[in-house]
Amino acid sequence: MTSSFRIPAAPMTSPAARAVAAATRRMYGRVPDIVPVMWHHTKLLRAVLAWERRVSTWNALDPHLKTFAVMASAASIGCSWCLDFGYYVAHGEGLDEGKVREVPRWRDSDVFTPLEREVMAYAEAMTATPPTVTDDQVAGLRDALGDKALVELTMMVAVENQRSRFNSAAGLASQGFSDVCELPLADAR
């Protein structure tokens, strides 16, 4: 798949743009498609990058559960770019890639624990339009995770909704980040 860029990529020709492109190439091996799209609005891009740096410091929620929730949300929305990049990030963090690969089809897979399934069901319920989260879901997760981790889980799903919806609307598609994982990229639903 390649991105169709409903919002066209901005030329990355200025010295600042070339520096950003070089930095992202060093970090990820290529420039993520979202960078030249957001380059149209550099103030917004800087704000998003600063926010993402802060989000990456949250640590109340188990990283596996966080990844499963984020990827379940991305799969629900159908953001192939987000799933592709999510596999790449999970690989870099040493998470269980076999489980990560199964997230888009978690309901049919036998690799997940009951808590992991609860987390992904919650992520899907939050992602639905309108959201379909129930009191029972929250109570079960609150008992299992505690308030702090539940708040983080809820915000991570909200953050992924923002990412996935922006990327989908902008026309971004899988960019091949998951190739380093040596796993086939699972299709979004």
Residue range 84-120, pLDDT digits in tens: 999 999 998 889 888 999 999 999 999 999 999 999 9
* Of 42 and 1, the one with more pLDDT: 42
**Per-position b or e across 18-50, b if 16+ CB within 10 A of its CB:** eebbeebeeebeebbbbbbbbbeeeeebeebee
Burial class (CB within 10 angstroms; exposed 0-12, middle 13-18, buried 19+) of 171: middle
Give the CATH number of domain 63-181; options: 3.30.70.990, 1.20.1290.10, 1.10.10.10, 1.10.3720.10: 1.20.1290.10
Neighbours of 136 (CB within 10 A): 8
Q: At residue 189, does pLDDT exceed 50?
A: no
pLDDT of residue 37: 95
Look up the pTM and report it. Answer: 0.90
Q: Where in the chain are the domains?
A: 15-55, 63-181
